[in-house]
């Protein structure tokens, strides 16, 4: 699977998740066989008007590569300038958000709002395409109505403007994350263009991923919410695609990954912010396990790396014993 001149080691990629796909989670996903990691969406305005917090979102390390950085905005000039900054930061791929359906974003004409304004959408894509040499992708939704016509139209237009791949999350703007993703829209987009299409939506097992490949003929699959507490899903999907035995994640491996996540968070965010994040995030990794609510309770006030690691060890020891 190639996106422009970038070759992915696996056709299974991590979805952009605001506030979640920061560097620590991306590293864990990559280490577990993910073929491409994506940043959370980054405001083009924030980047060009010098917000330090926004610029920090571009921080990366070589071990996570290839990294796709997603920007959102509606002004072609601002988007082009922000795109150039992303390229200068060393990102491998630039992605434009055509899918965010949060009111605050739509109100500015960004995200999925671009899907009902073909003229502006094209201006944004052309401006960004002219501003960078790295591969350019877009991530779209079904559009504003269920037929998916807007998705197909935008995809065709994007291909004509030199976009290198398209990720499709087949829910309408109004659906947000409700209902089932309509994979037939991924198939329709794939049928309409010759550039790679990345299918996304509702993958929660290796079998789901395989079904998406089979039903849509997509070139890669993208996993979002399920990867949050189950980053090993990437290696499991890879195994199924290679007709290998699907690796079972036992308690020891789960503990290893949770501790790695704590350490990566402390290393890249600093101990205090990492601990604040761990208070909710470590809970993702234990969903459904015996005693998980007790564990979630115990990490609510975690305040140091050592404490976080020892709580993970205590919890996983009780399960292993």
Ligand X SMILES: Cc1cc2nc3c(=O)[nH]c(=O)nc-3n(C[C@H](O)[C@H](O)[C@H](O)COP(=O)(O)O)c2cc1C
Query: Applying CB under 6 A, which of residues 18, 58, 195, 267 lies at the interface with ligand X?
Result: 18
Q: Tell me how far CA of residue 190 lies from CA of 2, 11, 115, 151, 250, in angstroms.
A: 15, 15, 18, 11, 37
Sheet of 136-143: strand order equals: 12-14, 220-223, 197-200, 165-172, 136-143, 93-98, 67-72, 37-43
Pick between residue 143 and residue 224 the one whose CB is nearest to ligand X.
224
- Rule CB under 6 A: say whether 99 interacts with ligand X: yes
Query: Applying CB under 6 A, which of residues 225, 253, 263, 268 lies at the interface with ligand X?
Result: 225
Segment interacting with ligand X (CB under 6 A) among 25-33, 81-89, 196-204, 206-214 = 196-204
Q: Cα angle vertex 9, ends 6, 15, to 5°?
A: 80
Pick between residue 85 and residue 203 the one whose CB is nearest to ligand X.
203
Whole-angstrom distance, CA of residue 68 vs CA of residue 202: 21
Mask for 121-150, x = binds ligand X (CB under 6 A): ------------------x-----------
- Side-chain-facing half-sphere of 294: CA atoms under 13 Å: 10
Whole-angstrom distance, CA of residue 169 vs CA of residue 19: 19
Q: In angstroms, what is the minimal distance from the CB of 106 to ligand X?
A: 13
Pick between residue 180 and residue 300 the one whose CB is nearest to ligand X.
180
Q: In angstroms, what is the minimal distance from the CB of 15 to ligand X?
A: 3
Segment interacting with ligand X (CB under 6 A) among 16-24, 112-120, 126-134, 288-296 = 16-24
Residue 209 region by backbone torsions, left for phi larger than 0, else alpha for psi between -120 and 50, else beta: alpha
- Which of the residues 69 through 98 are near ligand X (CB under 6 A)? 70, 97
Query: Applying CB under 6 A, which of residues 43, 54, 164, 200 lies at the interface with ligand X?
Result: 200
Residue of 122, 179, 118, 117 lying closest to 146 (CA atoms): 179
Pick between residue 164 and residue 316 the one whose CB is nearest to ligand X.
164
Q: Choosing from 34, 38, 100, 161, which is the catalytic residue?
A: 100
Segment interacting with ligand X (CB under 6 A) among 47-55, 223-231, 286-294, 297-305 = 223-231
Q: In angstroms, what is the minimal distance from the CB of 71 to ligand X?
A: 10
- Rule CB under 6 A: say whether 263 interacts with ligand X: no
- Cβ-in-10-Å burial (0-12, 13-18, 19+) of 79 comes to buried
How many residues interact with ligand X (rule CB under 6 A)? 22
Q: Tell me how far CA of residue 321 lies from CA of 216, 251, 313, 316, 318, in angstroms.
A: 44, 10, 12, 8, 5
> At 250, phi and psi to the nearest 5?
-85, 180
Query: Applying CB under 6 A, which of residues 26, 129, 169, 254 lies at the interface with ligand X?
Result: 169
Whole-angstrom distance, CA of residue 29 vs CA of residue 80: 29
Q: In angstroms, what is the minimal distance from the CB of 300 to ligand X?
A: 20
Q: In angstroms, what is the minimal distance from the CB of 317 to ligand X?
A: 31
Segment interacting with ligand X (CB under 6 A) among 126-134, 194-202, 206-214, 310-318 = 194-202
Pick between residue 101 and residue 311 the one whose CB is nearest to ligand X.
101
DSSP H helical segments within the chain, as ranges? 23-31, 44-48, 52-56, 76-88, 103-106, 118-131, 149-160, 183-192, 206-216, 233-241, 251-269, 271-281, 292-298, 305-320
- Which of the residues 21 through 60 are near ligand X (CB under 6 A)? 40-41
State yes or no: is 34 an active-site residue: no
The residue ranges that bind ligand X (CB under 6 A) are 15-18, 20, 40-41, 70, 97, 99-100, 139, 169, 177, 200-203, 223-226
Catalytic residues: 100
């Amino acid at each position: 699977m190639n996106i422009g001149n970038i070759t992915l080691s696996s056709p299974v990629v991590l979805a952009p998740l605001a506030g979640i796909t920061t560097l620590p989670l991306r590293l864990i996903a990559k280490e577990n066989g993910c073929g491409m990691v994506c940043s959370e969406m980054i405001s083009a305005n924030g980047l060009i008007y010098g917000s330090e917090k926004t610029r920090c979102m571009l921080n990366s390390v070589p071990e996570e590569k290839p990294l796709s950085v997603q920007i959102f905005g509606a002004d072609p000039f601002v988007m082009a300038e922000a795109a150039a900054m992303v390229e200068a930061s060393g990102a491998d791929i630039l992605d434009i958000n055509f899918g965010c359906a949060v009111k605050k974003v739509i109100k500015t004409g960004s995200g999925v709002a671009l899907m009902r304004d073909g003229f502006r959408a094209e201006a944004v894509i052309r401006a960004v395409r002219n501003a960078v040499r790295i591969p350019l992708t877009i991530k779209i939704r079904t559009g504003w109505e269920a037929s998916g016509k807007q998705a197909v139209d935008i995809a065709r237009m994007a291909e004509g403007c030199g976009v290198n791949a398209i990720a499709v999350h087949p829910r309408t703007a109004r659906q947000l994350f409700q209902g089932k993703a309509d994979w037939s829209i991924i198939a329709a987009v794939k049928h309409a263009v010759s550039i790679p299409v990345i299918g996304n939506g509702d993958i929660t097992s290796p079998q789901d991923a395989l079904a998406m490949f089979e039903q849509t003929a997509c070139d890669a699959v993208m996993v979002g919410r399920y990867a949050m507490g189950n980053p090993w899903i990437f290696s499991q999907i890879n195994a199924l695609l290679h007709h290998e035995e699907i690796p079972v994640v036992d308690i020891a491996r789960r503990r290893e990954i949770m501790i790695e996540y704590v350490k990566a968070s402390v290393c890249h965010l600093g101990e205090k912010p990492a601990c604040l994040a761990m208070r909710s995030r470590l809970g993702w990794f234990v969903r459904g396990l015996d005693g998980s609510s007790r564990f979630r309770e115990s990490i609510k006030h975690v305040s140091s790396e050592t404490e976080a690691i020892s709580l993970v060890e205590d919890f996983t020891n009780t399960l292993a014993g």
